[in-house]
Structure 1
Amino acid sequence: MCDQTRIRTQDLDIPATFIPQIAKLQDMEHNNWDECLDAVVFAYNTGTHSTTKFSPFELQFGRKPRFPTDFPRPELTFSKPNDYFAQLNKSLKIYHKNVTENIFKQQRLSKVKYDQNRQDPHYDIGDPVLLRIQGSRSKLDPRFHPTPKIIVKTQHPTYFVKDEDTQEELKVHVNDLRAILDAKLH
């Protein structure tokens, strides 16, 4: 989106999932994004989410949403007003159970997909490695400290590395290490 829209929405807490939808609906001058917000929120709340397999509306109210284009549904009658509350709680428990199962299933699938492309390097004591620079940096800044560290203890995926100059020892996760391919360090 353009800077003008970003400026006008920066004080509001608009979920990141809404921004692309608002960008599609707003006019060319980018000054009517607030008019699109209700439609975007409605679509988000009534649309089926890929992870949960349900809409937020269903999870909140225990039933499918009714749209203006839907035919009127037959009315449900309960012998006591409390019967509605009991039925709602029963429906919500079923929804939440299914959502929990769907989320776990999606998490397992995501992990399998992630692990297929992930390298799992193992290091030995004495191996020289580079340590990732933590914190914010610009795109062109180096990602790893130029001074090599030496592995002094292994508990994969956690490693203890030592700086030979300062004798400082650090506990580091394997994701923050890179092997040095060239054996010539000095």
Structure 2
Amino acid sequence: MEAMAKLVGYNHTYPTTYHPQSNGMIERFNATFIPRIAKVQDRENNNWDGFLASVVFAYNTGTHSTTGYSPYQLLFGREPRLPTDQPASTFTFRKPNDYYEQLKKNMKIIHRNARENMINKQKQYKSRYDTQRNDPHYSLNDRVLIRKHGLKNKLDAKYSATPQIVIREDHPVYIVQDESTQVETRVHVNDIRPICITRSN
């Protein structure tokens, strides 16, 4: 993966636990897909796999709020034809290659519009998210505490009892090491809290 990253020129960011924003595209798909499966399956027979094709088709033919188009339309350059639709209009092309040229034009327009819609939506999401978000940065050897997830008791401490040392930084993801056990943990910046030292006069 490191060799591929150097060849293609991308920065491989690893997701962290309990932080779905790290893998937003997949998590957003799951948030839409799983509830649909849950509604149609028979919970006693656990036959959710029998509905996969129909649920996936519904997802692929539905218009997405981010792109303004359905995945089907982005792939094929036209709306899907369903059994309930009116018969398709008839077009006559003078040359065999005319259909291909028309399809390329349609795809170019659709992809350009979808890209613009995505950029505008991302700006809206970022602006809304940034208004409610602090963005602290940490340096190597900083002593911090990290959030504990999966607590069973509401009265349990929400952060680690042992200080953690920042040993690697790739903001917003950090690698920290427990001072006592030397265990390393990958953690998102939202789950880190600085250790405040108070001095008495």
Alpha-carbon shift at residue 75 of structure 1 (Å): 0.8
Indicate the residue corresponding to 2:72 in structure 1.
57
1:92 aligns to 2:107 (yes or no): yes
Alpha-carbon shift at residue 23 of structure 1 (Å): 1.2
Alpha-carbon shift at residue 50 of structure 1 (Å): 1.2
Q: Deviations over 1:129-156 (max 9, x none)?
A: 52547xxx6524864563387xxxxxx9
For residue 20 of structure 1, the aligned residue among 35, 45, 50 is 35
Partners of 1:174 and 1:63 in 2: how far apart?
43
Structure 1: where are the runs of 5+ without partners? 1-14, 150-155, 158-172
Q: Is the 8 A contact 2:145 2:195 kept in 1?
A: no
Structure 2 SS opposite 1:130? strand
Q: Deviations over 1:63-104 (max 9, x none)?
A: 112221111121111111111111111111111111111111
TM-score relative to the length of structure 2: 0.60
Indicate the residue corresponding to 1:168 in structure 2.
none
Aligned residue identity for 2:163: T
Q: Is the 8 A contact 1:46 1:56 kept in 2?
A: yes
Change (3 A) 1:77 1:181: same
Indicate the residue corresponding to 1:130 in structure 2.
144
Indicate the residue corresponding to 2:127 in structure 1.
112
Indicate the residue corresponding to 1:146 in structure 2.
162
Aligned residue identity for 2:88: R
Alpha-carbon shift at residue 183 of structure 1 (Å): 0.7
TM-score relative to the length of structure 1: 0.64
Structure 1 SS opposite 2:193? strand
Instruction: Give the length in aligned residue pairs.
Output: 152
Bigger radius of gyration among the two = 1
Indicate the residue corresponding to 1:102 in structure 2.
117
Structure 2: where are the runs of 5+ without partners? 1-28, 152-156, 166-170, 173-187
Provide the aligned C-alpha RMSD in A.
3.9
1:76 aligns to 2:91 (yes or no): yes
Partners of 2:51 and 2:101 in 1: how far apart?
37
Q: Is the 8 A contact 1:22 1:40 kept in 2?
A: yes
Q: Deviations over 1:113-169 (max 9, x none)?
A: 11010124589xxxx852547xxx6524864563387xxxxxx99xxxxxxxxxxxx
Change (3 A) 1:148 1:63: closer
